[in-house]
Amino acid sequence: MKRSPLQRLIEHARRQRDDAAAQAASAQHEVAQAQKTLDMLSSYLHEHLGRVRTQAHTDSPLLRIREGFTRKLDVAIDEQTRQRDGLRDNAEREHAELLERQRRLLAFEAVQARRESIRRLRLHRADQRHTDEIAAQLLQRHRRKSADES
């Protein structure tokens, strides 16, 4: 059976929606991975600071090394936070695109459903007219037969 232009539009919209869903899922996965890395870095900094507080060593070279390491962890956390936030913004855009694609697909499907409903209604009316015509013909035959008998 030949597909209508509307059916082709629906299939195209469905593919676009599915592609958008895959992109949105991928973007969300990237956010989760970035958050996991950020959590790991934050946890490592917290553990490092906890170890520093419990140790009573205050020799100057060791203290500078620890401070340098703490600064590097802070920089890494800041960078990872920016990366996670950028990925989150992208994931929100991808989700918005998915919603738009879904809305478009639903609109096409609604048009198709309305057209199908109208087609069924027309068929029903045509069947009803045909049935009415047959009933009218039978009634006329019956009246002629009754008139001929009397």
Whether 121 is covered by a domain: the verdict is no
- The C-alpha angle with vertex 105 and arms to 31 and 102, in degrees rounded to 5, equals 20
Whether 141 is covered by a domain: the verdict is no
Q: What is the CATH number of the domain that holds 98?
A: 1.10.287.1700
Residue 38 is predicted with a pLDDT of 97
Whether 144 is covered by a domain: the verdict is no
Residue 55 is predicted with a pLDDT of 73
Whether 12 is covered by a domain: the verdict is yes
Helix-helix angle 5-54:60-149, to 10 degrees? 160
Distance CA 62, CA 49 (A): 14
Euclidean distance between the first and final Cα of the chain, in Å?
Answer: 56
Residue 1 is predicted with a pLDDT of 67
Residue 56 is predicted with a pLDDT of 63
pLDDT along the chain (150 residues), means of 10: 89 97 98 98 92 74 86 97 98 98 97 96 96 93 84
Whether 94 is covered by a domain: the verdict is yes
Task: Give the structural domain span for 66.
Answer: 5-109
Question: In Å, how far from its chain's centre is CA 106?
Answer: 12
Whether 148 is covered by a domain: the verdict is no
Q: What is the pTM of this model?
A: 0.73
Structure tokens that stand for 129 in this block: 């007219």
